[in-house]
Structure 1
Amino acid sequence: MDAMTTNTASGFVEVVEVGTRDGLQIEPTVVPTEEKVALVNSMIDSGIRHIEVTSFVSFKAVPQLADAEQVLAGIRKRPDTNLMALVPNLRGAERACKTPLDGGVLLVSASETHNRKNLNRSINDSLHGFPAVAEMLRQGGIEVLGAIAVAFGCPFEGDLPLEAVLRIARTYAELGVRHITLGDTTGMATPRNIRATLRALRAELPEMEFTLHLHNTRGVGLANVLVGLEEGVRRFDAAAGGLGGCPFAAGATGNICTEDLVYLLHESGLETGIDLEKTIAIAHRMERLLGKPLAGQVMRAGPRLRLHAADAVPTAAG
């Protein structure tokens, strides 16, 4: 099965969990390998089919993800489970091909400054290196996916021309990539630029499928989901408890919360195949592992129809 095969039934939306990759990469508390494995297994048990588990990056750059091979080796996959990871270069591809990875994600920023900060190379250098990485992944039976960071604005350069995103998307299409993730890396996406970017991409690449990777930095993450849905997007990244953020970008904060997204989709009459209560439990588990409160809302309040005994709260006096 392709790493990003999607249920195309009417009303079905795919939620891609990125909590153990994007979620943990910025955290100073290193989560033990066995706990990461347990988290991913619980995500699979909740009904999440697509999980961006880790990243094959330099151990020095992101020590939290140095155990990529060990984590992937311990996961109990189901027949419909698709495990993904960032694969930024040939060294990463060599490592990835020795694991049960389903999808390798190529990554480049739409902004020159952010690409140099995040990947320590120019955009052109990243693009020129992609064919060799893609070839190695495919020889290893791994689907090649594309991702564009800061697709809706850069914290160093501000608004970016649509052509910057289109150029990268064209390169991916020429490589035979069928799925591109549009990254709102530091929460600069708005309903207006989400709509404009998607319409420009669809006009030029009508066969391409897009995932929205949204952060809630400025509190409009779920509003942007609704716009994405209106524009036909049926796949969204999210992280347990709202974890995440790019360690190489100013002002980066967490992703939209998995459990908040699942709640929104279910209450909008859409299907995900995911058990909301189990995603809430995962968020609480992540919170305990990191020893700090997370940003999720539904993990605090529970589903809308989770009722409480009347005598569990005081009665107003007077």
Structure 2
Amino acid sequence: MLVLNQTDLTPASFILTGIPGLEDMHLWISFPFCSMYAVATAGNCGLLYLVCREDSLHRPMYYFLAMLSLTDLVMCSGTTPKALGIFWFHLKEISFDECLVQMFFVHTFTGMESGVLMLMALDRYVAICYPLRYSTILTNPVIAKAGLSTFLRGVFLIIPFTFLIKRLPFCRGNIVHHTYCDHMSVAKLSCGNIKANVIYGLMVALLIGGFDILCITVSYTMILRAVVSLSSAEARQKAFSTCTAHICAIVFSYSPAFFSFFSHRFGGHTIPPSCHIIVANVYLLLPPTMNPIVYGVKTKQIRDCVIRIFSGCKDTKCHSM
């Protein structure tokens, strides 16, 4: 039932429907969601533990990886428990203020994810193009400032979303056809003018996603030029192998984001809403699930630390890469 404040038509709560059209499949859909969330939580907590515990991982590359793991944990934890509550227990109601808080965290940390991937690309650029100056360029204060700047960028760009939503009159009901409070899904319930929401949303996408993708592209263009110029094939392979895990992380993060962005604008009515919502959830679950696995498999030093811990070795140092 819709509960409205008669003065400003602000609902006391919203109803999240989950995945419209697939209500009968919610229980089955919940199993891969739950499995991915469990892997994401365990994997990212494990990576954070390794980076904190092992002195040999106290290097710029692994500090950025720790930032990525922390971001992934918050990103998927902000939506998946609520989605599972909808699928399993039909806990569909969310208060207006809780909806705004969820919206803020989801969009802030998806922006943070993109920003950290950009910082990791710059890290690989410095490591390959300026190896002798790597430790002097990427000092701990520089890394801390870069991480803080990326976080604050997301906070300051996303905060206006909450005010843009709060100003809208909601007279089309309070049913959100989604598993979480996405900015535009909530804005479309308003009978007011949402042009500012649409324009600002596109601006934020360009300022965060567009800028980060440009920096990543430029970084890897310079990396490719530096790698190709190396005389030894073995040196080229070794240099490029340090980037493979990061390239995989970029693919896992941006592929569902691009699909969601372009299908919304060019897919029209040919792509069902259920597909959009599933992809939106995959976008928040796939990177946190796959990043620890990829970095664990592709990064020898992390692999050695994991093997040593599970084998019960008493040495406090991991083998050098």
TM-score interval, smaller chain: under 0.3
Q: TM-score, normalised by structure 1?
A: 0.23
Q: Which has the larger share of strand?
A: 1
